[in-house]
Amino acid sequence: MRQYITGNLVLENKEVFSGELVGSVKPFTSGEIVFNTSLSGYQEIISDPSYAGQIITFTYPHIGNYGANVTDSESVKPFCNGVILRELTAIPSNYRSQKSLEAYLIENDLCAIVGIDTRKLTKRIRDLGSLNGAYGTLPIDDLYELAKKETGTTNLNLVKDVTISSAYRLPGNGPKIVAYDFGIKTTILNRLKEKFDVTVVPANTDSDLVLKGELSGGVPSGVFLSNGPGDPSALSEIVSNVDNLLGKVPIFGICLGHQILCQVLGAKTVKLPFGHHGANHPVKRLSDGYVEITSQNHSYAVDESTLSEVKITHRNLNDGVVEGISAADRKMFSVQYHPEAGPGPHDATYLFDQFLELIKENI
C-alpha cells in the first residue's frame, strides 16, 4: 500500500488546496499554473518542452490509467515544473504500459500533487487568469512566499533551456530542410522525416549558415520553425535571425514558430488570460469554412490589430484568436496550433503536405 506524504498547494492569491505528494517528493515545487483539458495523452503533455516554467493541471479526473512507456515521450525529459492531479491511478492497465505514471515521475525527478479539487482550481484560473503557485511539504506561509516570488513566463527566454546544443540529421528521401529547435516535439520530427531530409539545429543557429547549407550537407529547400516555451516577445535575437530567412526560402512555423514569424512581420504578441491547452479546440479554415478540431498548447497569441501584409488563414472559434497566416510572396505560412497531433486529432496533418507543395513550387 502506497504511503503518500501530505502537502499543500498555495496560490499567489493565498488560496490553499490540500493534497498528497507523489513522484519525486520535494520541499516545494513552484511555477505558473495552467490547465490542460485533454482526456488522454498525459505522458506526451508532461514531456512537451512548451510547458517549461509551468505546472500542468489536468482537468480529467483520472490520470495514469494506461501507464507510461519509452515511445510516447515528446522530448528527452520533461521540462515542466510540476503536475497537479485529482486522482492518480495506482495500477495501470494497457498492453503498451512499461511503468506506472508515478514511476515515470520519479524517473524524471518530478513531484506531483494529487487529491486536488482540479475543477475548483481550473475555475479559479478561468476567472482570474494564469496564477503562480507553489506546493510541497513546506509550511503554508513559506509556500505562499514562494508563489509570490514566481515570475511566471512573462519576459522570459525559456527556449535556451530546452533547445539542443548541436545540430543533428534525420535522413530522408525528400527535399532537404532545416528545422529550428525551439523545443521541438518528437511527433513533429516524425511527421517531418516522413517527407523530408531533416537537419535539426539549435535555436540560436546563424541564419547565414542555414542558407549556405553548411549544417545540412547542402542548401536547404525549406526551413521549419518549431514550437517552444516562454514569452515570444523575449526572443528578439531569434526574431532577427528568422528575419534574414524570410522571402529567401520557404518557411513553415508551428506555435512559437508562428509567433516568431508574425513578429518578423511587425506584429506584437499578447498573453492570453489562461492560454489554450487541450486537444479539442475548434479552428475554422477560412478558405472553405471547414472546422478542424485541433491540439493546442500556448499561453501567448498574436495581437491581430498589429498584424498586416499577410492573409489570415485560420481562426479559433472559441475566442477568435488568429490561428494561421500565410504570405505567398514571402514563401511562408504558419499556424498557432499543433497539426502533428501528439496527442490530439489528426484533422490538420495536411499542413505538412502543404509545406512540401510550397517547397516544390519554389525549387
What residues are labeled active site? 255, 338, 340
**Which candidate, 237, 236, 209, places its Cα nearest to that of 223?**
209
**How far apart (Å, rounded) are the C-alpha atoms in residues 75 and 46?**
10
All three cell numbers of 286:
477560412
215-221 CB contacts, 8 Å cutoff, 24+ apart: 215/167, 215/178, 216/169, 216/176, 216/177, 216/178, 217/169, 217/176, 218/176, 219/176, 220/175, 220/176, 220/177, 220/178, 220/249, 221/175, 221/176, 221/177, 221/249, 221/250, 221/359, 221/362, 221/363
H-run or E-run covering 191: helix 186-193
**Residue 49 carries which side chain, given as an amino acid letter?**
P
| Cβ neighbours of 137 (radius 10 Å) | 16
Angle (CA) 153 184 111, round 5°: 55
**Residue 202 carries which side chain, given as an amino acid letter?**
P
**How far apart (Å, rounded) are the C-alpha atoms in residues 336 and 303?**
12
| Cβ neighbours of 89 (radius 10 Å) | 16
